[in-house]
A and B are shown apart, each in its own frame.
Chain A
Amino acid sequence: MTKRPSFLAKATEKLLKNKLAALCFVLLVLEVLLLLITPWIAPHDPEATNAAIKFAPGFWAKFSSDPAVRASYVPGYLLGTDNLGRDTLSRLLWGGRVSLAVGVVSTAMGLFLGVILGMLAGYYPKLDNPIMRFMDLLFTFPGVLLAMLIIGMLGSSTFNATLAISIWSVPSFARMVRGKVLQIKQEDYILAIRSLGATDFRIIFFHVLKNALPLIIVIATMRMASSIISISTLSYLGMGVPAPAPEWGSMIATGKGFMWEAPELIIIPGVAVMITVICFNILGDKLRDILDPSLRD
């Protein structure tokens, strides 16, 4: 008997047939690989300052028609340096590790809590109202406001920012998972399993979870996008990753002060955030079409 291909394998196959989604997938895999090997490939220490090579331009200077600009390129500093002479490429790589790690951890934490709350609310009618009304309450703090309240009270640090972003994603996870569970609960096979004597625990965490998985994958992918935007936003505002550690948002905040002399200091990290976020959003969008067409607007 041949093993039936898992739904994930099938979904990946369909996903890669879409050119745009395949491109995003490849880009993200490449990015993750690069960030994983950063300690070995980053050319310089991301926090090492060097006053002698402040605002060195990147490789583009070599194509300038002005010999003075060509001469200002410092070999070994491919993307140039910032206001303290720190290597932009190394900061970009190390900063990306932070952004992505916070994205993954906060999405996972939000997912864990949100899925459990959503499943309980969907499965047990008695828990539905208390859990969901509490979620509604959290929804009344729009945008990053809830995250800011948490950071404002706990103080700014990478950990608190991660915590704040994950708590902020709990209500939307819970709401969507609950909707799905309410729908799955009505299915005949759940009734059949129950009549076979399966415990609630087994039904919820095995059968219902398994069938809600496509939805969970879709929302987790999209949430990765918003978590990465959030951590870079919080760091930009000075309440995420503390200086001098590099992070894409805080690199943009530093660059903002020097946008006249070195606009690349805001362009480079911004493009990095944008590409990463767009890839996650497009992947999420296509995954949704493949895994759960009913979700389409």
Chain B
Amino acid sequence: MKRYIAKRLAMVVLLLFGMSFIVFASLYITPRDPAQMVAGAAATEAEIANVRASLGLDKPFLVQYGIYLKNLLTLDLGTSYATRQPIIDEIAVRLPITINLATAAILIAVLVGIPLGILTALKRDTWLDNLLTTTSLFAISIPNFWLGTMLMLIFAVKLKWLPTGGMTDFFWTPTGFRQAILPALALSTSTIASFMRIGRSAMLDVLQSDYIRTAKAKGIPQKKVVFVHALRNAMIPLLTQFGTSFGGLLGGAIITEQVFVINGLGTYLINAINTVNYPVVQSTVLVIATMFVLINLAVDLIYCLVDPRVKYE
């Protein structure tokens, strides 16, 4: 088990290293000169050269990458072109909002998707299974920005039941709950569908295994077989899906935030893209990707607890 954990940790370090390299190197595909942008349109050649030196952009590529890495390790993400503020501070304000949204969405996906997956597995090949499986195709086909806009139109604009946007409180508070319902729902539909499909096939797999047949033969009631014996093993593929989905939801939150005017990382990133604010684009992408990698690491470590087979790897 120690070897497994060590291997996973080494892998994560490599991934973070590689990610930081891609994000750093992406600055070299920009059509505009960052030094020129910081210095302003009216700057003279000498001023631009000064700015270039102060940003360290005159140094060799690898030296610059070394400095970039060193700064990352001290959580220095540079300064925003727009506000001249440290990017880390601006991200720290917005990150909790994005996590709040993604967490609310994954909760909905787990609470709705997994039960539906079990249900369709138990009712395999009945009209209910066919209906829900086909519906799940619809769920992955609706663009989440459009679904968000439609939910807003119906429940916020026409019926006035819920606020049209904004997110000021966490979803477990009364205000935060009302603010989170629509965006989290819009964000989670395709994840509900994937939890359902994976839950269904995992459950079907497990239900066909020998130990379930034995349990049934011993006369254990169907309910207990399904919810105690089968569910525990069916959870393992779902756990993997949880890691992948959470990352997907963080990526999706970028779009949902824009629809519901939520001032999280997504809105920050999109504004940065529209205002050609390179360091902010780089840092936001890096922060979201890092969270994704860390969540997957957490999932891998949880495996050690729930799946004893991993220990013998």
Q: Interface of A with B (CB < 8 Å)?
A: 20, 133, 136-138, 140-145, 148-156, 225, 229, 232-233, 236-239, 249, 252, 256, 259-260, 263, 266-267, 270, 273-274, 277-278, 281-282, 285, 297
Contacts and interface: CB of A to CB of B under 8 A. Distances in A.
B153 A266 contact: yes
Contact of B146 (A137, A138, A266): A266
Interface string B264-301: 00000110111010100110010011001100000000
A23 B141 CA distance: 16
A137 B21 CA distance: 10
B254 A274 contact: no
A145 B30 CA distance: 17
B146 A152 contact: no
B153 A263 contact: yes
B146 A273 contact: yes
A153 B289 contact: no
B143 A270 contact: yes
Given A237-B270, A270-B143, A152 B285 contact: yes
B152 A156 contact: no
Given A141-B19, A148-B281, A155-B30, 10 more contacts: A140-B292, A148-B254, A148-B270, A151-B273, A225-B141, A232-B143, A232-B146, A236-B145, A259-B152, A266-B150
A151 B27 CA distance: 12
25 contacts: A137-B19, A140-B18, A141-B285, A142-B250, A143-B248, A143-B251, A145-B251, A148-B281, A150-B29, A152-B273, A152-B278, A153-B278, A154-B31, A229-B143, A233-B143, A237-B145, A260-B157, A267-B150, A270-B149, A274-B141, A274-B142, A277-B141, A277-B142, A278-B138, A281-B140
Contact of A141 (B31, B269, B270, B289): B289
A260 B156 CA distance: 11
A144 B145 CA distance: 13
B252 interface: yes
A142 B150 contact: no
Contacts of A140: 15, 18-19, 289, 292-293
Nearest to A141: B289
A153 B137 contact: no
Nearest to B21: A137
Given A140-B289, A266-B146, A278-B137, A153 B255 contact: no
B295 to A, nearest CB: 10
Contacts of A274: 141-143, 146
Contact of A143 (B26, B250, B270): B250
Contacts of A267: 150
Interface in B103-159: 134, 137-138, 140-146, 149-150, 152-153, 157
B196 to A, nearest CB: 11
Contact of B273 (A156, A259, A277, A285): A156
Contacts of B79: none
Contacts of B18: 133, 137, 140
Interface string B16-56: 00110011001101111000000000000000000000000
Given A143-B252, A233-B255, A149 B26 contact: yes
Contacts of A278: 137-138, 141
Nearest to B291: A142
Contacts of B26: 149-150, 153
